[in-house]
Structure 1
Amino acid sequence: MEGGTVRPPDEPPATAEPSAPAALGLSPAVEMELQAGETLESNVINLGPDEDDGHIIVVLQSRKGATREEMARVAARYRKARRYLQSIASETDEVAEP
């Protein structure tokens, strides 16, 4: 090895940027939002009884450093939205396939 310091293999270099999400195929805007906020909850809502019926993936976030009151307000808003999203999923179960 030529010059430089030795660090354990799992330690990132000091100049490394925060780790980015794995290449999930998400838009840059979604990746930036995921990195910028604090995740409060995540959920997968199935659109049908079978795996190939699709899913809605929800990640509830607040701003980093939010107070307990702010997080509670976000969670209360999400409960209403979650009921709506779940109702969409149950409606798709009733749709007849062509």
Structure 2
Amino acid sequence: MEVHNEIIEISIKAQKAPVNVYSCLLNPRTLIVVRSGILIPIEKEISKIGYPEILVLAKRNLEKGIIDEHKKQLQSLLKADFEKLLPPGILTGTKVCFCLS
């Protein structure tokens, strides 16, 4: 699936290629993507020593930037215009989601 390939590219830029990628179209506007096996050893150690919240915040910011770099490819693959589907400013919020038209 081309969307999975794009998700793998995004994952590689942030950490490493996922062992598995699963996606499910919940409804015409929501695609759920689950990636497993993406943590690199330093991330596992940060979580293990008690700082999982910091890890989540750092990864969220990093991945949002990378997703923004891939926005045109994702919109093309998903046949969606994120700007038209979402209220202004939502793409800069704290959650990362894909919405489809």
Question: TM-score range, shorter-chain basis?
Answer: 0.3 to 0.5
The structure carrying a bigger helix percent of its residues is 2
The structure carrying a bigger strand percent of its residues is 1
Give the TM-score of the pair, scaled to structure 1: 0.32
Give the TM-score of the pair, scaled to structure 2: 0.32
Higher RCO, Cα 8 Å, sep 6+ = 2
Highest Rg: 1 or 2?
1
